[in-house]
Structure 1
Amino acid sequence: MTAPRGFAIDTSVPHPARRYNYWLGGKDNFAADRESGDKIAAVYPPIRIAAIANRRFLERAVAFLAGQGVSQFLDIGTGIPVSPNTHEIAQAIVPGARVVYVDNDPIVLSHARALLTSGPGGRTAYIDADMRDPARLLADGTLRDVLDLSRPVAILLVSVLHFAPDAAGIVGPLLDAVPEGSYIALTHLSKDLLSPEVAAQTDAVNQRSGVDMWFRGRDEIEGLVRGLEPVPPGIVPVAEWRPDDDPAERPTAEQASLFAVIARK
């Protein structure tokens, strides 16, 4: 595996995208990522179930948004490609859909450039950027070339905002940059869905993982989409947002302790 020229991969430090890949059963991760993932699993054993439920939400969300006629997607914190990817789902419904992927891991960049190729009618692009600097992201020439920000855009922030101390400082500028008719889809870790015993160990999760995470309550997540129109069923546990699988196979809220919401501007 070779990183693009000018990018360095520090395999000694765990990265959320590679750790997520490990939980999903992928092979694009290193010892530090697996060690970090195992330490979190020791505190919260259902983490792999949660990762799969989160990925299923992404697939359902993109299909829903494309079904509403959305043809532009900004997928922030995309992670290492896992089929079906955002553009594959969107372009199956809207062949001309355009997707810009954003991440800050050189391995993700390497895979994205090789694998995230658009269908003939649409476009895809990848930006190496940090969501914690939304102004720089929104000013990126590639983003502006692929997406028309005068037309509705679906902003995807799936399982990434809990890695930022200031989630509102990310969501606000992104929503300000897109017009009415745009959507935001997000998932977020929350103590509210955990038992008191497990919730009390969230500080230990941060200490063991090597990557800081901020567990926000439902009210804080609601604040991120205040002023928008939530799509029914609103803010719910991730596995309960319009599930298309057998309810008997649906994980519980504690097993997949993320809230999910899609809201329209």
Structure 2
Amino acid sequence: MTDERRVPPPVGVDPSRASIARVYDAALGGKDNYEIDREVLAQVAKVAPEVNDLARSNRKFLVRACRFLATKGGITQFLDCGSGLPTAENTHQIVQRVDQGNRVVYVDNDPVVISHGKALLVENDRTHFADADIFTPADVLGNDVVREHIDFTEPLALLQVGTLHHYTPDNGAELMKEYVDALPSGSYVAIAHFFNPETDELAQLAQRMEDVFLHSPMGSGRFRTADEIRAFFPGLELMPPNPEKPGDLELCDLWWPTGPTLRPLNQVERCIVGAVGRKP
């Protein structure tokens, strides 16, 4: 972990306030976080010891979804909302491994993420960073960097992986409709989201985790129901999550896994789902 006594935070960063990106980084074992961020995880761990598995499941879904979009989906441009601070396997690494010409624009407005995003600009000329609020679609869709490097006359992938559960003003359906309306036919939307399964076994756990997240220094983390999450895909055709099921949401760890599941999923892993939808 970063030694806060010796490593000053970037300009604009308040280490006394938790950050969504830094909490996620801490859950993945990264070093770009502070004590306040780790405290959020410690609080949730009191009701769900496996809380870090939310981030791991989210990350595994991102990797498989991006690989699908770049190979089977034929997508060559990716708009990644809420890029965060992953320790490995960034979106651009995944999709440019398939084709070096694939374009990626990351969008975030967290000061630490912006600092890392600027470093990405040096890495290759197919990866770019836009400073915008992902919960204000008009700002993202009208951003100069986004408009310069994403062609909205051609299919693209819009990624909201591990982001929308931090949108708390309402159910978020209208927010996503604004994004979807701007996408051309043949585009895809990939979403991973904290999930309330509404079962006797798991509903109370999801509610307890939500209560802790909402009242933690981070202040966000909604566990929505299946119908609430499906509403994020207005007019989209959901892709089958595996050969045995029709298009729908699926637990992140079970969405087109790379091999057989050798152990039962724990309760926390059963409280995050993902889906990929295609715009006709």
Question: What is the TM-score with the length of structure 1 in the denominator?
Answer: 0.91
The answer as to whether partners of 2:15 and 2:36 remain within 8 angstroms in 1 is yes
Match for residue 228 of structure 2 among 220, 223, 228:
220
Match for residue 74 of structure 1 among 59, 72, 79:
79
The letter of the residue matching 2:237 is: E
Q: 3-state SS of the aligned residue for 2:275? A: strand
Cross-structure match for 2:216: 208
Match for residue 243 of structure 1 among 254, 257, 266:
257
Match for residue 272 of structure 2 among 255, 258, 261:
258
The answer as to whether partners of 1:87 and 1:118 remain within 8 angstroms in 2 is no
Match for residue 15 of structure 1 among 4, 13, 19:
19
The letter of the residue matching 1:238 is: C
Residues 25-75 of structure 1: CA deviation (Å, up to 9, x unaligned):
001001110111211121221111221111011000100000021000000
Deviation at 1:186, TM superposition (A): 0.2
Deviation at 1:249, TM superposition (A): 4.9
Deviation at 1:115, TM superposition (A): 3.9
Once the two structures are aligned, what percentage of the paired residues are identical? 38
Q: 3-state SS of the aligned residue for 1:65? A: helix
Q: 3-state SS of the aligned residue for 1:49? A: helix
Cross-structure match for 1:124: 127
Q: Which is further off, 95-104 or 194-203?
A: 194-203
Cross-structure match for 1:199: 206
Q: 3-state SS of the aligned residue for 2:107? A: strand
Deviation at 1:245, TM superposition (A): 4.2
Question: What is the TM-score with the length of structure 2 in the denominator?
Answer: 0.86
Deviation at 1:196, TM superposition (A): 3.7
- Find the aligned partners of 1:8 and 1:250 in 2 and give their Cα distance: 43
Cross-structure match for 1:157: 160
CA, structure 1 residues 118+61, in 2 after alignment: closer, same or farther (shift >3 Å)? Answer: farther
- Find the aligned partners of 1:218 and 1:117 in 2 and give their Cα distance: 40
The runs of 5 or more residues in structure 1 that have no matched partner are none
Cross-structure match for 1:63: 67
The letter of the residue matching 1:143 is: V
Residues 158-182 of structure 1: CA deviation (Å, up to 9, x unaligned):
0110111242232111111110000
Cross-structure match for 1:99: 104
1:145 matched to 2:153: no
CA, structure 1 residues 149+200, in 2 after alignment: closer, same or farther (shift >3 Å)? Answer: closer
Cross-structure match for 2:114: 109
- Find the aligned partners of 2:278 and 2:123 in 1 and give their Cα distance: 26
- Find the aligned partners of 1:45 and 1:256 in 2 and give their Cα distance: 14
Aligned residues: 261
Q: 3-state SS of the aligned residue for 2:49? A: coil
CA RMSD of aligned residues (A): 2.0
The answer as to whether partners of 2:206 and 2:271 remain within 8 angstroms in 1 is no
